Amino acid sequence: MTTCIRRREFIAALSFTTAVWPFAIHAQQAKRATIGLLGASTASAQSQWTAAFVQRLRELGWVEGRNLKIEYRWAEGRFEHSAEIMAEFVRLKVDVIVTHATANVAAAKRATSVIPIVFPSAGQPVGNDLVESLARPGGNVTGLSVQSSDLAHKVVDLVRDLLPNLSRVAVLSHVGNPISVLGTNAVKAAAGEFGLDVAIAEIHVAEDIAPAIEALKGRTEALIVASNPLFNTNRIQINTLALGARLPTIYFDRAYVEGGGLMSYGPNWPSRWRRAADFVDQILRGAKPADLPVEQPMKFELVINLKTAKALGLTVPLIMQVTADEVIE
């Protein structure tokens, strides 16, 4: 009887150990980690993205103050200090670097070939030598690609749907950012296919924005703003100035429309940051960046602000309202 009981106790103990073992491994793997996060904009400008990233990490078991520390830094639309910040992350011996915008990712790659780097967004990562290929990144860098140039044709087409008599569009282009330049060139090419003239408003620093938009007044019928951290940081100013100049604005990011812009078409950016947290989780649990393929957005959303349309005296075609993912009234 005693032998039987002991045998049952042994089996029960063995079963319990087997059941608990994966969780023990999980707990061991989920020891305290440090992430170095460099945002390309300001903390407030990209708060939705950061919140989505942190929330997803929490869902995956990584909680700030418990088993996770995040060192936050902000470029505020300027990249002069990116290399310095990346060097700081290396000195701090962070476990993963998370950053976006091509200039920041390139700075991270130059700073270290050892620490894993995850980008929630980067334009043309292969063409800009961030990764070897989308399917096989190689090295210590991976993340989510944003092929903004591929969106240019659709954006120009949407402007034509909104303004059937459109003959000329303007593009706000940050000449210090290679991806903004690529996006501008893509818009020029798309506009040319539709027989449209293009005016380029070149921006070097934030102080150039106001005079550039003022100079477009009466010279163009719509303003396309290429994705860029500098513009994201100053999006409220851009919307206010464009409205004053009676210029309909079209963006690649819904945050601009929520801040008073007219229309946007592009990926859902908070969802991209959530997905980046999945990459970070896998890396913290032992995955190699080289083995994690770079992902491209599969879904794009159209957002229209009817309040802004009304302020501009525009009537948004019903078909656009029906097909939009969100209409702000």
Give the pTM: 0.79
Residues 318 and 280 in one domain: no
**Number of structural domains found in the chain:** 2
- Which residues constitute the domain of residue 175? 148-266+301-328
194 in the same domain as 237 = yes
Say which CATH number the domain at 164 has: 3.40.50.2300
3-state SS class at 219: coil
Q: Are residues 100 and 81 in the same domain?
A: yes
105 & 206 share domain: no
**Residue 258: exposed, middle, or buried by beta-carbon count in 10 A (0-12, 13-18, 19+)?**
middle
Q: What is the pLDDT along the chain (329 residues), one digit of tens a residue?
A: 444 444 444 444 444 444 444 443 444 445 799 999 999 989 998 999 999 999 999 999 999 999 999 999 999 888 889 999 999 999 999 999 999 988 899 999 999 999 999 999 887 888 888 999 999 999 999 999 976 666 888 999 999 999 999 999 999 998 877 777 778 888 999 999 999 999 999 999 999 999 999 999 999 999 999 878 889 889 999 999 999 999 999 998 898 999 999 999 998 889 999 999 999 999 999 999 999 999 988 789 999 999 999 999 999 999 999 999 999 98
285 and 225 part of one domain: no
Residue 26 belongs to a domain: no
Q: Is-contact 206 230, C-beta < 8 A?
A: yes
| Same domain, residue pair 210 and 68 | no
Residue 13: inside a domain: no
Residue 20 within a domain = no
- 165 in a domain, yes or no? yes
Are both 73 and 156 inside the same structural domain? no
Residues 314 and 212 occupy one common structural domain: yes
In this structure, what token pair is assigned to residue 185?
A: 């060139």
Residues 179 and 319 in one domain: yes
Residue 113 domain-assigned? yes
Q: Are 50 and 273 in contact (CB under 8 A)?
A: yes
Residues 109 and 211 in one domain: no
- Indicate the angle between helix axes 235-244 and 209-216, nearest 10 degrees: 30
Could you tell me if 61 and 175 lie in one domain? Answer: no
8-14 long-range contacts, CB within 8 A, separation 24+: none
Q: 62 and 107: one domain?
A: yes
